[in-house]
Amino acid sequence: MNHTALTPQHYAVAIIPARYASTRLPGKPLLEISGRPMILHVLERALSARNVGRAIVATDDERILTAVKAAGFEAVMTRADHPSGSDRLSEVAAALTGVEVIVNLQGDEPLISPQTIERAVDELLKDDAAQVVTTSETITDASDVLSPDVVKVVADASGRALYFSRSPIPFPRDAVRRYGTLAAALAGEPALLASFRKHTGLYVYRRSFLLEYTRWPQSGLERLEALEQLRALERGAVIKVIEAHTPSIGVDTEQDLERVRKILEASVVNRES
């Protein structure tokens, strides 16, 4: 679904980094959901966004390359030694011409809303100061606040990111003093959940910034938190954080996979009924 009526200045190219190796779910992009590999669901979501004109899977594995091409989508082989998904993205973006906006879409987000992608691309085109736009969601479960696998973000009044962390930020000091621990504070005062925002792994870059950013060495905070976006923040880059259109589920565990399977299978049944 290429939106060819859009000009290069007003459409984005989505690049989806997809590695076969995964500590918890080996071969994750090829795991079956509703009878098809997960990566194909992500591609279709990307191409359903009205301001995305092209979607490319960037992989280091022939199995993923073959599966994507066999389904009629674009895929390219990249080097195997990239330290991050953004570096893999940059290798592909460097070869593109006539493109100003690059979407970094994670290959394990088969429920990503096309409207979320559209919002992020529109925001980058609208905000001349922003070099990157990313998305966040409300947190509804206290366990997500406490989990280091859920990245939290805080932003200023204009939506510019101040920090991303695997730790609970902002830290509700007075409530924790009252209850003794953060877990007890969240249980005792559920309204505290509204203080936290979950960062979701969608990024929209200006292509020129992406190519510059991935030439920078890894930063100290990036290595400590294992969060590549901190490399950009430490250099003073402007990252705009906007609200996702609807919540998504990144597939990191078997439990995530089963949840996503049930949701997508139910949607197929609803469409057919």
HSE, side-chain direction, 13 A CA sphere, residue 143: 0
Residue in this structure with the two tokens 């005792």, named with its chain if needed = 188
Is pLDDT at 5 greater than 80 in this prediction? no
245 alpha carbon, distance to own chain's centre: 13
* Fold annotation for 12-247: Spore Coat Polysaccharide Biosynthesis Protein SpsA; Chain A (3.90.550)
Question: Which one-letter DSSP state was computed for residue 193?
Answer: G
DSSP state of 80: S
* 145 Cβ contact partners less than 8 Å away, ≥ 6 residues apart: 139, 152, 168, 182, 186, 193, 196
Domain ranges within the chain, ordered by starting residue: 12-247
pTM above 0.85? yes
Buried b (16+ CB within 10 A) or exposed e, 223-258: eebebbbbbbbeeebbbbbbebbeebbbbbeeeebe
Joined together, the tokens standing for residue 183 give: 């877990």
Residue 1 pLDDT > 60, yes or no?
A: no
d(CA 5, CA 10): 10
Of 59, 71, 70, nearest in space to 18 by CA: 59
| pLDDT tens, position by position, 129-184 | 999 999 999 999 999 999 998 999 999 999 999 999 999 999 999 999 999 999 99
Tens-digit pLDDT profile for residues 14-52 = 999 998 887 778 889 999 999 999 999 999 999 999 999
Asked if 30 and 63 count as a contact pair (C-beta separation under 8 A), the reply is yes
The four Cα atoms 250, 253, 258, 264 give a dihedral, to 10 degrees, of 20
Q: Are 137 and 59 in contact (CB under 8 A)?
A: no
